[in-house]
Amino acid sequence: MKNTLAFLGCLLCFVLLSRSTQAQYAANIIPKPQQVHSLKSKPVTLSSDSRIYYDARFKPQADYLRQLLQEQTGLNLSLEANGKGARKSGITLQFDTVTVTKPEMYVLESANGKVTLKAGSVNGVVYGIQSLLQLFPVQQANKVQVEPVKIVDFPQHGYRGMHLDVSRHIFPLSFVKKYIDYLAFHKFNNFHWHLSDDQGWRIEIKSYPKLNTVGSWRNATLIGHFKDKPARYDSTRYGGFYTQEQVKEVIAYAKVRGINIIPEIDIPGHSRATIAAYPEFSTRPDTTWNVATTWGMYNRQNNVLAPRPETFKFLKAVFEEVADLFPSPYIHIGGDECSKMWWKASPQAQEFIKQHNLKDEKGLQTYFVEQVAGYLSAKGKKVIGWHEILEGDLDTSTVVMNWAGDKEGTAAAMRNHYVIMSPGKPLYFDHYQTQNPNDSLAIHGYNPLDAVYNFSPVPQALQGKPQAKYILGAQANVWTEYMGSPAKVEYMVFPRMTALSEALWSDPGQKNFDDFKRRLEQNVIPRYKAWGSSYCTDYANWTLDAQ
């Protein structure tokens, strides 16, 4: 018995030791780097004696690398402020704007006993860190060998975003941070935080406290699908909001990870939570409104703001608070799905249209956008809105987030608007990713993994045209009507987020879906598991052809 135990002990030691040096490979990195060159050198060995050397500008990223490396491998490297390079074995985070010539670029070299990561920006260094971590195994080790390699890498598209709707369901702050970690791993640079909608207001606003005491809470939530007949509801009060202190914490967390947070306050439609709190801003102030309990509002229930002086005073105060809180140069003001029927039915709105010489209700919509753009411009901010804001004539400083198709994206670019492509097909991750009838509930649609992987932000009609420069990049949207928990969000985004990261970062000439799936399996799925994240395990069986 004793001998057997000793033998098993030795075997375990052997397995652990031999595994301790087994690294991952540059050929497995996701998103695929622009250039990977093998070097003629011995692998670089790192152990707990190795250090992380850093340029002072990259101190927060040195801490970040240290923490991630420790979580992933157990190696705990000490830090040393020295951006010139390692005296002994280690990793150097070096500030360099000579070798590094493009925005968000990094150059990573592992050879001759050292790893050097050169970047000219926080984002560059964060992306180099993500690639470097993919050269380490996802397992405890006291020594790791890094492949001798040189990686020269930069993104194909400047705007790489992921959205999260926290109105339909709210998620713990810890999950919002985890979501930001997911974005950083995948080299995204923008997190679009959808903070208000008909079903709940989710950010503390000090100047209008009823937004939180009333607007952040609903009395029930739909169970099952909203098309079910009859629709079923629970009777549980549901809600909450993020305090401004919490928001600041998330902003600081994202900043270290190279992620800009774009907050969205959705107006002038999608405003049921606002008018539940302040009925005087609705077109029917005589009515008692509640925070919406069902999904899919639009024409069915009144949810628009009335063009009254007190509404504009309110919008100014709210957007100023938001602008003061978020460092983002852009603030998203929504503007989607604003049904015009409520303004048509409102004598006050009609009178306003006449008095302000507006053409019609579309003109009124533009008036709202322009007012808010004015408040924000005084704070040095620009506006992003969903493509419906183009229904009227807007000045071109407004960035259009296009959730329709190529046609609308092209039209916006031809009108000289900057555009972020976010087409429902294939970038709505609230749509189904399989056609398995037992798949867990989603809104509708079918956006399988290959559709996401093969997506390209620049519409065909713009290719080769000067207006192609107006396409800033793309974003996937995660509307959470049917996502009541972090695990469900993860199930819906993984592995589609991983596919999108490659569609936005990598050279389209090097894309290959089969090779992507191999790297996903060998390199990224073990990470989902290590992060304790849910994901759709059945992705390989579902493609657009399976439709």
Catalytic residue list: 337
Taking phi over 0 as left and psi of -120 to 50 as alpha, with beta for the rest, 337 belongs to left
Tokens of 467: 């207006």
Nearer to ligand TNX, 182 or 386 (CB): 386
Nearest approach, Cβ of 317 to ligand TNX (angstroms)? 24
Are the C-beta atoms of residues 447 and 432 closer than 8 Å to each other?
yes
User: Who's near 547: CB < 8 A, 6+ residues apart?
Assistant: 435, 446
Nearer to ligand TNX, 337 or 507 (CB): 337
Task: Name the minimum Å distance from CB 424 to ligand TNX.
Answer: 7
Nearest distance from residue 266's CB to ligand TNX, in Å?
A: 8
Q: What is the dihedral of CA 34, 40, 45, 46, to 10 degrees?
A: -30
C-alpha 216/C-alpha 167 separation (Å) is 9
CA 455, chain centre distance (Å)? 17
Instruction: Considering the complex, state which of residue 418 and residue 479 has its C-beta at the smaller distance from ligand TNX.
Output: 479
Tell me the two tokens of residue 89. 């074995």
Nearer to ligand TNX, 152 or 399 (CB): 399
The encoded tokens of residue 213 equal 């005491």
Place of tokens 């399976």: 546
Positions touching ligand TNX (CB under 6 A) are 336-337, 386, 403, 428, 430, 443, 479, 481
CA separation for the pair 22, 137 (Å, rounded): 7
- Strand stretches in 369-511, DSSP E: 382-386, 399-402, 419-421, 471-476
Query: Nearer to ligand TNX by C-beta: 353 or 442?
Result: 442
Residue 387 Cβ vs ligand TNX, minimum distance, rounded to whole Å:
9
Nearer to ligand TNX, 390 or 443 (CB): 443
What are the CB-based long-range contacts (under 8 Å, 24+) for 395-404? Answer: 395/370, 397/373, 398/369, 398/373, 399/330, 399/472, 401/332, 401/475, 403/336, 403/428, 403/477
The structure tokens 């302040």 sit at: 278
Nearest approach, Cβ of 475 to ligand TNX (angstroms)?
11
Closest approach of Cβ 428 to ligand TNX, in Å?
6
